[in-house]
Amino acid sequence: MAQAPARVVAPTSALADRLARLEAELDGIDVSSYAGQSPAEARATAARLRRIQSRLAAHVGAAVRAVEALVETRSAPQLLARDFGNDPRAASRELRQAGLVSESGLAERAAASGSISHLHAAVIGRSLRDMPSQTTQDQRAFAERALLRDAQRLSPKDLEIRGRRITDQFKTEAEVDVDEDALLRRREAMARANTMLSMWDRRDGLWEGRFRLPELHGRILKTMIDAYAAPRRSHLDQTADPFETLDHKQGRAFCQILEHIPVDRLPTSGGTPVQIVVTIDESKLRSEVAAATLTTGERISAGELRRLAVMQGILPAVLGGESIPVDLGRSQRLFSKAQREALAVMDGGCVSPGCDRPPSWCEANHLDPWESGGHTNLDNAVLLCSGHHHQAHQEGWKFRRANGVAHVDRGRGWECNHRFRA
């Protein structure tokens, strides 16, 4: 049986009376009433309630700090969680943010009055906390007032960037450089110390994980993913669901990045290159329906194997009678570097009509499948990006070359990618 939350004894002070009146006002508002507004009223109401919510957050911060200071307990987050919400992590976040806001009395009062958001107040508090130890009280007060003014016009993110450079105004250029370098080195060292990646098999065909990256590497990853998940590219990806979420788009973009990492530059393991070997019987590969086996024991479809067989990091091990290896893919099945360079000139990138993916992000695909006797030569190859490679195998696209130009039949006649050619 679940344990009932601890009973909280309500105070009888004037503060409690005011809070009771506040709750009574909320009790008088039915949540269904918001649906009956005009569009302009709905927008104004949402903004007003968010401002009220931000003001309440400042009061909540002051209240949880009081619990931490006044109540004898080994763990204030655990105590706060038992009193309401049953979420110690959320209570810990409240306490941390309340501590930041308390660094600036001016910012906390401004947040409580609704002049700035509670998040802005936390940014100001963090900026004051991180100021160099030799900062004088007058300089600190100057910085606090300056940040409070800036909070009226800057987003929390921009205000944080501003806060890191707030001491520039009362130091020489040389001192600014020294302080900034010291701050950045501390931040980078802390980021490296807290960098982590954890991932696990869900046993349903998916993996999950979480990570923390330093600023530089997070920006690199975000830039790479954005390049392939940006809304402006949606019309180019025929495999995409027009209603898919941004998280899904970014997940698919991350998969494309992983598939195109050059494994020949990865470290070796015991002298063996980092590689995934996929095993399938030759007769089953020709049947186009049997599953293949990874070296780690997982199974993938034959269609996925044929798509991955052109990848640099996938080594298809085709077995003949009595499970004797008859081909390890790379010498006979995969196109050579010279062939791929020639295809880059011939096709200029993905041959799917309307796609603008460059050759470096494409895979060489056999026009006549290798497992059906197709040859690994230029006359029997086209470039396809990962998304259209998937779609080509799933939908049985046909390919041909006419005057050197690749044409595609996606079920509605022959088409070609009218790419600009210098």
Tell me: do 62 and 153 sit in the same domain.
Answer: yes
Helix pair angle (88-101, 118-129), 10° resolution: 70
Q: Which of 400, 333, 397, 394 is nearest to 364 (CA)?
A: 333
Residue 33 belongs to some domain of the structure: no
Contact between residue 212 and residue 195 where contact means Cβ atoms under 8 Å apart: yes
Tell me: do 273 and 362 sit in the same domain.
Answer: no
Tell me: do 91 and 114 sit in the same domain.
Answer: yes
A 10 A CB-CB count for 158 gives 13
Tell me: do 72 and 116 sit in the same domain.
Answer: yes
Select from 259, 279, 294 the last residue of a domain.
259
Contact between residue 143 and residue 131 where contact means Cβ atoms under 8 Å apart: yes
Contact between residue 364 and residue 335 where contact means Cβ atoms under 8 Å apart: yes
Digit-by-digit pLDDT tens for the chain (422 residues) are 444 445 555 555 889 899 999 999 999 999 999 999 999 999 999 999 999 999 999 999 999 999 999 999 889 999 999 999 888 888 999 999 999 999 999 999 999 999 999 999 999 999 998 887 778 888 889 899 999 999 988 998 889 888 877 877 766 667 667 776 777 778 788 888 999 999 998 888 889 999 999 888 888 888 888 887 765 555 445 555 666 788 888 898 888 888 777 666 665 533 434 455 556 565 655 555 556 666 455 666 766 666 665 554 444 555 555 444 444 444 456 677 777 777 887 888 889 988 878 787 788 888 777 666 667 777 788 888 888 888 888 888 889 888 888 899 998 899 888 764 43
Cα–Cα separations (whole angstroms), residue 113 to 5, 44, 109, 175:
32, 18, 6, 37
Question: What's the rounded Cα separation, in Å, for the pair 371 and 364?
Answer: 15
Read off the tokens for 158: 């921009």
Tell me: do 51 and 136 sit in the same domain.
Answer: yes
Tell me: do 270 and 215 sit in the same domain.
Answer: no
Task: Give the DSSP H or E segment for 293.
Answer: strand 292-294
Question: What's the rounded Cα separation, in Å, for the pair 415 and 399?
Answer: 10
Residue 358 belongs to some domain of the structure: yes
Residue 2 belongs to some domain of the structure: no
* Residue 163: domain span: 43-170
- By three-state DSSP, how is residue 32 classified? helix
Which conformational region is residue 368 in: left (phi greater than 0), alpha (psi within -120 to 50 degrees), or beta? Answer: beta
How many folded domains does the chain comprise?
Answer: 4
Select from 151, 170, 189 the last residue of a domain.
170
Question: How far from the centroid of its chain's Cα atoms is residue 391's Cα?
Answer: 25
Query: Is the pTM above the cut of 0.75?
Result: no
CB-hemisphere CA count at 13 Å for 142? 11
